[in-house]
Amino acid sequence: MSDSVWRLPPEGGDLAVLARCHIHEGGPQFPPVLFERLRGVGLIVTLGNMGERSGLDQLQEIAPVIGVCGKDDTEDFRTRRAFLHLTGAGYDIGCVFDAKAAGLAEVCDPFIASEDAAAVSTRLFGCQVDILLHAGTHRPDEARFGPRGTALCPGSAALPEDGDPTFLRLKVSPEGVYGQLVRLT
């Protein structure tokens, strides 16, 4: 199995998705309420620009962390890949930092899929994903992705562009994928 493919349990699981937190010593930090809201997740997925390794270490105390690398990330084995394919419970979820640079989007703010997104998805993930997770902006966004898919950006749990800090909770099960945007106020 490729390092860029992560198999979810057959029954699925609860995931937290974070992006663009830019955690640095003397700089932005996670709001304390984040750690309470992450309790119970089985996996934390990061979409890049998380900052220094210390931020990933804090998250790792709650659940396993896996993700993709952004431009503001310290090299770390948990986030060393450019793309990540989560699969299980009958669903395929693609993860990228910059959907436009990957060829999956024409623009990311707001998200508009590229004309050849299906072909690019198949090349990157081995299939047309049901959900595309991306770190397009510092604010949350949801858009269509393909004939039956959705593109989701979780915003930022530490540096929101405007509004509240946010992250995304996903419940993946054979019955469906259910997402909830969690506001940290």
Write down the pTM of the prediction.
0.96
- Describe the chain by its helix, strand, coil percentages, rounded to 5: 15, 40, 45
- pLDDT beyond 90 at 3: no
Q: What percent of the chain has pLDDT over 70?
A: 99
Q: What is the pLDDT at residue 132?
A: 98
Query: Which helix (H) or strand (E) is 110 found in, with range?
Result: none
- Residues 6+ away with beta carbon under 8 Å from 6: 43, 66, 84, 85, 86, 87
| Rounded Cα gap, residues 130 and 162, in angstroms | 28
Which range of residues forms the domain containing residue 143?
5-183
pLDDT in tens, 56-113: 999 999 999 999 999 999 999 999 999 999 999 999 999 999 999 999 999 999 999 9
Q: What is the pLDDT at residue 159?
A: 94
Q: What is the pLDDT at residue 146?
A: 83
Query: Which helix (H) or strand (E) is 81 found in, with range?
Result: none
Q: What is the pLDDT at residue 154?
A: 97
Q: What is the pLDDT at residue 74?
A: 94
Q: How many domains does the chain have?
A: 1
Query: Which helix (H) or strand (E) is 71 found in, with range?
Result: none
Q: What is the pLDDT at residue 28?
A: 92
Domain of residue 92, CATH code = 3.60.21.10
102-140: b (≥16 Cβ within 10 Å) or e: bbbbeebeebbbbeebbebbeebbeebbbbbbbbbbbbb
